Structure 1
């Protein structure tokens, strides 16, 4: 066996075979050469009993430079790599040292670091008893390539996991790592689990920890949340994700299981976010079925839940501008014009936003997000600003938020056709009328389909004809005739009663 060392076991078996056969036959039985057989017979002991080799098989290619030139460089900068040192030798000595010396140099550096290098970091495996530790983390899942109603769905997953049993809970997060998403996901997980662990750990979530503070203390909201459930909040050291290994590894396994479920499903298209959430819940339930025995043990060690949940939203106060908009967390929202000038208390949930005035909810919107690579996001509902636009339709042409007013692509394409074929004032009036019709008739999708057909026919939409088709009809009030009986009829009743 060329290139392989003869083992002690081979020597023992060869010795046994040699007692009954010639040297050539015994060597053939063991699969070794006759020359190797002669060396075995001439040796005094087993191969493992021999001393280390003290001779070189070829001349040292680094003789004269290793101790004189390279060791001083390594002693000064231990992080220097073999390729860097070889290039330095080539710079100093020209063609004396070719690229074939690289592997020898790398092995020499590796041996030097093993003997004289710096101390390396040691990872200490932790043992977590049942009921002690739970962990939370967010992970980006854009690589799953999920689409909702034909649009690419960029999202995150929030995952909660118990360190001992591995029980987990996961939820979709359409926005960023906000406190609202953390609070909602954490509370949903605890109530689904039916108990509370002693400690809850996260990484350096911007929602839970104030990373800019010198003392890196917990934010007030996150501390209050953990205090409500009687958990001790902790975090791993900044940049040391391995300290959260119990949740980091499960993020990978969850995304892998989701990817397999989507492959088995045959496509990654969903009609609604709720449909996708059900698939995520099914995958998590399947993973949790594997750990029922340790989960039963851990549940017995959990603390009881409080009487009620705590708030899952973040409150921000902001004033509605004269433009009928309000800016919250770098997202511009449209607001009904009747609220202009009012200072509202906004409650930020993971998926929605509510505006409160004097203890009354006066506004609600889908939670907006900031697109990747852009400084701000926009969440504009055309219904909020239509009443004002109907009074000033000419402002539509150069309105800063014009493009955000189109609820569907067909409306935007219709505007492009109108502005090309009609005078600006007429185009604005017609476009505002179409948007108003979509809002009044609650026919946004149906009207968009008709507008698409009009565009394909290279025509201009007829607002009157569309209004006749889609505008809500006024239901006529029925004519009710009430006949009053004569008063004498009551006298007859009294007479009968008497």
Structure 2
């Protein structure tokens, strides 16, 4: 058609028909005029080869600096970012426009594709059933989960089978540590019911960050012994190379999104206690695993059997209970019953608790505390351990180091502040100690806290006699027992009975 350019396809069609037809007939079959056919006869190049190359529409803004300044910088520092090159060029040549940034970035990208250093290559793997299990930790702070309205600073230990994608997650309260890894890994294996041939984790650099060389080597040895107990070949990826553990790094994001969706459907991010949150995580992970039933069934048949029992997933240490009514471990002070003062306790240190033994006898369990970020000691205090001593020395409460941690609920702390504001600190300490003693002796900690909240909201100070009467121990009603006494003459008659005679 007039005014339209012919295409390479029309050119090929023309040349096909031209071998057996005249130019006019071949042109008609190709769909253009005889005049175009005669032009093709003079210049048989395809139309696409006749288009002149596109030239620059404006002057090159990098013409004077590319070869003389930019290329030397790229050669001297191969890892230099394009934005840093742009900032340096703008510093040297203030007259250059900001609009050259994209041009510079494209030019650097093209130059590196031809002249840049070789890059690392990721080799995609084909996983065999029962071959590889992977472990890693992932931070959950972004989900803003709370326990009883208090923020929960935690991570998830995440285990995954490379072939089937079977997962297990364990809530970790502290940072990354061998104890958390050992507990989470063993929970995963016993939930799975089998053992893969190999286990890969990250470099464990976070777990070893605050350890000296001997302690780090000991933790490495314990990790290898843990894997050997289950018959797994232990391996770790290189430090700072996350893609070497890519079989679990990417699923971290999928798991977090699944937990986020479940929290949105639940309508609340607050849980009554840690056990409730752990059940919630188990339900989310269980739903994820339910989608992989067929693959998991295939992989379970290839797993090795579990050993007869678990191995230690805790650290052992020995502490001495001081006259302060407790002991200090990992910059955290723990209170214990005062009868243990002067004794040495064997402590099994788990991620979330301490199990304390006197000799071979288990004496108590304590929640594990964490030291404060400012370098100060943390405190794990149970007022029941020290209340009997505080009753003899109530003024010790005033400047007690762990006074804020002594109060079991916020209502007690508010009550003490209100009593102190009344002006008599001695009376405030005495009253507060008696309130704590009442909560302990009557087992009414929660109910007494509600009563204190009501009094404070009403603008009244806690009235100790009234509260004692309200929470006094219930007196059991005594039944009236009537005893009928037998006449003494009956005993005289018993002496007159002879063997064989009728009674």
- Which category describes the TM-score, using the shorter chain as reference length? 0.7 to 0.9
Q: TM-score, normalised by structure 1?
A: 0.84
Judged with a 3 Å threshold, the aligned counterparts in structure 2 of structure 1 residues 90 and 269 are, in CA distance, closer, same or farther, namely closer
- Conserved 8 A contact 2:10-2:31: no
- Conserved 8 A contact 1:183-1:225: yes
**Where do 1:346-365 residues align within 5 Å?**
346-365=347-366
Q: How far, CA to CA, are the matches of 2:13 and 2:484 in structure 1?
A: 119
Q: How far, CA to CA, are the matches of 2:416 and 2:216 in structure 1?
A: 52
Deviation string 1:275-304 (CA, Å, 9 cap, x unpaired) is 322222221111112212221221111111
1:29 counterpart residue number: none
Q: Does 1:62 align with 2:53?
A: no
1:255 counterpart residue number: 256
Q: How far, CA to CA, are the matches of 2:502 and 2:167 in structure 1?
A: 78
Worse-matched range after superposition: 59-68 or 106-115: 59-68
Q: How far, CA to CA, are the matches of 1:272 and 1:452 in structure 2?
A: 22
1:399 counterpart residue number: 400
**Where do 1:228-267 residues align within 5 Å?**
228-267=229-268
Q: How far, CA to CA, are the matches of 2:496 and 2:238 in structure 1?
A: 95
SS at match of 2:292: helix
1:125 counterpart residue number: 124
Q: Does 1:273 align with 2:265?
A: no
- Conserved 8 A contact 2:156-2:171: yes
2:322 counterpart residue number: 321
Alpha-carbon offset, residue 74 of structure 1: 2.7
Structure 1 residues without counterparts, runs of 5 or longer: 1-5, 25-37
2:113 counterpart residue number: 114
Alpha-carbon offset, residue 459 of structure 1: 1.8
Worse-matched range after superposition: 177-186 or 276-285: 177-186
**Where do 1:54-93 residues align within 5 Å?**
56-93=56-93
Alpha-carbon offset, residue 127 of structure 1: 2.4
Alpha-carbon offset, residue 260 of structure 1: 0.9
2:449 counterpart residue number: 448
Alpha-carbon offset, residue 471 of structure 1: 2.9
- Conserved 8 A contact 2:420-2:428: yes
- Conserved 8 A contact 2:175-2:207: no
Alpha-carbon offset, residue 482 of structure 1: 10
- Conserved 8 A contact 1:178-1:206: no
1:149 counterpart residue number: 148
- Conserved 8 A contact 1:182-1:207: no
Aligned residues: 476
- Conserved 8 A contact 1:159-1:169: yes
SS at match of 1:160: strand
Judged with a 3 Å threshold, the aligned counterparts in structure 2 of structure 1 residues 199 and 486 are, in CA distance, closer, same or farther, namely farther
Q: TM-score, normalised by structure 2?
A: 0.83
Alpha-carbon offset, residue 159 of structure 1: 1.6
- Conserved 8 A contact 2:14-2:29: no
Judged with a 3 Å threshold, the aligned counterparts in structure 2 of structure 1 residues 125 and 421 are, in CA distance, closer, same or farther, namely same
Worse-matched range after superposition: 101-110 or 435-444: 101-110
Worse-matched range after superposition: 198-207 or 360-369: 198-207
Q: How far, CA to CA, are the matches of 2:43 and 2:102 in structure 1?
A: 35
SS at match of 1:219: helix
Kindly name which structure, 1 or 2, has the bigger radius of gyration based on alpha carbons: 2
Judged with a 3 Å threshold, the aligned counterparts in structure 2 of structure 1 residues 357 and 61 are, in CA distance, closer, same or farther, namely same
- Conserved 8 A contact 2:371-2:377: yes
SS at match of 1:159: strand
Judged with a 3 Å threshold, the aligned counterparts in structure 2 of structure 1 residues 446 and 51 are, in CA distance, closer, same or farther, namely same
- Conserved 8 A contact 2:263-2:269: yes
Alpha-carbon offset, residue 68 of structure 1: 2.9
Deviation string 1:327-350 (CA, Å, 9 cap, x unpaired) is 222322111111122111111223
- Conserved 8 A contact 2:381-2:406: yes
SS at match of 1:307: coil
Structure 2 residues without counterparts, runs of 5 or longer: 1-5, 18-26, 34-38
- Conserved 8 A contact 1:313-1:348: yes
2:343 counterpart residue number: 342
Worse-matched range after superposition: 183-192 or 64-73: 64-73
SS at match of 2:456: helix
2:157 counterpart residue number: 158
**Where do 1:368-383 residues align within 5 Å?**
368-370=369-371, 375-383=376-384
Q: How far, CA to CA, are the matches of 1:13 and 1:320 in structure 2?
A: 99
